[in-house]
Chains A and B, each alone.
Chain A
Amino acid sequence: MQGLLKKRKVTLGLWLVVLLIGSLLVWGTQHDASLYRDPIMQVTSVQKGQATKEEDDFHNVDYQTKQKLSGRILNGKYRGQKLTVTNTYSLSGAMDQHYRKGSQLFIVVHQHRHGQLTATAKDAKRDTALIFMLWLVVGLLLLIMQFSGFMAFLSVALNGVLFLMAIILNGSTQGARVLWIFGSLAVVFAALTLWLVIGANRQMLITLATTLGGTALSIIVALLVFHFTHEKGMYYESMQYVTQLPRPLFLAETLLGSLGAVMDESTDIISSLFALKRERPELSATQVFKSGRQIGSTIMGPLINVLFFIFVADTFPMAMLYLKNGNSWGYTFSMNMSMGVVQSLISGIGIVLAVPLASYLASRFMEKKVRA
């Protein structure tokens, strides 16, 4: 009983520490203006103007409001100076910001001949919300999942660093080898993650082979389909933020996107099969293959769904804007969602193909007697 009480006290203490760190981080990012080179203004009072009605060619009605923001500069050589900035915001707010008292925003300061300062609003400061959410994820992860949570966080963080390095490498080659860079990165990603999650053993090697095989097969199938359909209805021009040749970039995106899901699935199937073999060593390779297929066919649907929502839900705002601008459903789909759907389909093919691959490799290369 006493042990339980003590354990409870420790947990409570842990929660308190995490909470304290969280509030420190949030407070810190609200007072980190001196870290920035661009001037930041904190709004101390807001004067609101009259709302004006706007109507566009498609009879969309919106209201725009001018506001006068008075505030003080928090950093740089104009620190402490008081300024007034005018800002316009709309009801929909797709491209503008509605600032309130206490908001912090980046401004551009113009110095005039007589030492007079005027400024224009540039953009909101957003690091506080970002840090808060990051803290929430890490805190919950460590408190609920403890060591496993830490390992999960570590593998994501390491992958993030590798990802950043690959992007810098891609930039230095002008994007000419994007598919090669991210293709080899995928191998490193998979090996590193599986090593962290499973450890270095035979099970990890089989999972790695399945992951790479499934992902590679999906890209090969996709390229075959592209070849035979002459890429009819592939709207590469609809891809967002593209600064280099779109086709290899699209394939690299798809490759990376499906890698995680295929890895997830093969880990699940193969670890279940190893556990099964440990419990019932008399099972033949054919029986193991069959069980693998059965496990796989129940998890492949939900996994394809995960990627589908990640790839396609993202297009919501732009698709809606297309509809509001008098475009047809078909055109809206083609220009916004079709590439995401193609990505989900290719990833789906990889996820499905990984099922027999995992079952085959596990049934064939599992040691006759799995050591416990």
Chain B
Amino acid sequence: MSTINVLGLVLLALMVLVGGKAGFQSFLALLLNFGLLFLAIVLVAFHFPPLPVTLVVGVLVLALTIFMSSGDDLSSTVAFLASAAVLVILVLLIVPVEHWALVQGFGPEDSEDLEGLSVLVGINFVQVTTATAILSTLGAIAEAAMAISAGLSEILEQHPKVSTRALLGDGIAVGKQIIGTTFNTLFFGFFGGFLALFIWFTGVHYSFGEIFNDKIFVSEILMILFAMVSVILTVPITTWVMTRAVAGQRKRAAKQMNEK
């Protein structure tokens, strides 16, 4: 058996051992997310427009990740709506910045990997790179939205009468608790992946000016920054969606009371 399969089985076994049914569902979500990501690549290779494909796949990934992990209905729905809103805002930010920064496709550091490959494939790489940046932040958006909405629904459980204005403040407070560790997750996640590239830069003695204008470096750093912006924005947006949902629920409850 190949290493990848054995590692997958070990992960599955551990997730079921630790999390039971929830663990199994999370593993399934991971598998399906991989399928969706691969599907996106194949669709773009078949000349489907990269941005719409990314948006559809993005929404599906968010739904899968959020609804397949255990959480109550209210917090899952709020997390999903908020993360979808963040995704849309993020697209509006990433598209112009990627056009501006000119970081599409590959850099001179990739020449060895590109040997023997034709790069003139007729697919707009600005859009492909934009899609890549959006996809790489999906996990972070889902995680942050779930953390905030779970925290808020816990507060609602303990103080069911809390005013929507106070809830706004609570949301930011929950956000403050998670922001430090979430940023570090992103930092280490991305920098772990770039380790080889950074070693390359110091090995070949790039100057600072060369590094800060290098296509690959700028493109990778932009990805981290997009992810960080999306996590920051997730905090107020999730809180806001939660207050709307709670206000709606209360209105309906009041109406029912009146009808009785």
The answer to the question of B209 belonging to the interface, with a C-beta cut-off of 8 Å to chain A, is: yes
Q: Are A141 and B232 in contact (CB under 8 A)?
A: yes
Taken together as a complex, chains A and B put the C-alpha atoms of A89 and B19 apart, in Å, by 53
Could you tell me how many residues of chain B have their Cβ less than 8 Å away from some Cβ of chain A? 120
Is B45 on the interface with A (CB-CB < 8 A)? yes
Evaluate contact between B183 and A307: CB separation under 8 angstroms.
no
Most chain A beta-carbon neighbours within 10 Å: one of B102, B142, B184, B232: B184
Task: Indicate if the CB atoms of A256 and B195 lie closer than 8 Å.
Answer: yes
Given the interface contacts A97-B102, A129-B97, does A232 sit within 8 Å of B3 by beta carbon? yes
B13 to nearest A CB, angstroms? 9
Q: Are A92 and B105 in contact (CB under 8 A)?
A: yes
Tell me whether A320 and B6 are in contact (CB under 8 A). Answer: no
Q: Are A316 and B135 in contact (CB under 8 A)?
A: yes
A320, B225: Cβ atoms closer than 8 Å: no
Contact in complex: A106, B29 (CB < 8 Å): no
Tell me which residues from 95 to 130 in chain B have a Cβ below 8 Å from any Cβ of chain A: 97, 100-106, 109-110, 113-114, 117-126, 128-129
Asked whether any CB of chain B lies closer than 8 Å to the CB of A125, the reply is: yes
The reply to whether A149 and B196 form a contact with Cβ atoms under 8 Å apart is no
Looking at the assembled complex, report how far the CB atom of B62 sits from the nearest CB atom of chain A, in whole angstroms. Answer: 10
A184 at the interface (CB under 8 A from B): no
State whether the Cβ of B163 lies closer than 8 Å to any Cβ in chain A: no
Closest to B44 in A: A320
A160 to chain B minimum Cβ distance, whole angstroms, is: 7
Chain A proximity of B36: nearest CB distance (Å) = 11
A228 nearest in chain B by CB position:
B6
Given contacts A182-B195, A240-B113, contact A297 B189 (CB under 8 A): no
Q: Which of B10, B18, B97, B139 is close to A296, meaning CB atoms less than 8 Å apart? A: B18
CB of A126 within 8 A of CB of B102, answer yes
Give the distance to chain A from B164, nearest Cβ to Cβ, in Å: 17
Nearest-neighbor residue (CB-CB) of A233 within chain B? B2
Contact (A232, B2) CB under 8 Å given A316-B128, A320-B123, A352-B14? yes
Q: Does A323 contact B (CB under 8 A)?
A: yes
Is A313 touching B185 in the complex (CB atoms < 8 A)? no
Say yes or no for B8: interface residue by CB 8 A criterion: yes
- Given known A-B contacts A155-B184, A264-B185, A325-B117, A243 and B200 have beta carbons under 8 A apart: yes
Residues of A within 8 A of B29 (CB): 301, 305
A56 interface hit (Cβ, 8 Å): yes
Q: List 24 A-B contacts (CB under 8 A).
A: A57-B118, A90-B120, A94-B106, A94-B121, A141-B228, A159-B187, A171-B203, A225-B6, A242-B196, A257-B191, A263-B185, A298-B150, A300-B15, A300-B19, A303-B185, A308-B30, A308-B34, A309-B139, A310-B186, A313-B135, A314-B193, A316-B135, A353-B14, A355-B18
Interface residues of A (CB under 8 A from B): 35-38, 54, 56-58, 60-64, 90-95, 97, 106, 123-130, 132-134, 136-137, 140-141, 144-146, 148-149, 151-153, 155-156, 159-160, 163-164, 167-168, 170-171, 175, 182, 189, 193, 196-197, 221-222, 225-226, 228-229, 231-234, 239-244, 249, 252-261, 263-264, 267-268, 271, 293, 296-314, 316-325, 329, 333, 337-338, 340-343, 345-346, 348-349, 352-353, 355-356
In the complex, given contacts A197-B181, A301-B22, A303-B185, what are 12 additional A-B residue pairs having Cβ atoms less than 8 angstroms apart? A93-B126, A167-B202, A234-B3, A249-B199, A254-B192, A257-B188, A258-B192, A296-B19, A300-B19, A301-B30, A302-B26, A345-B4
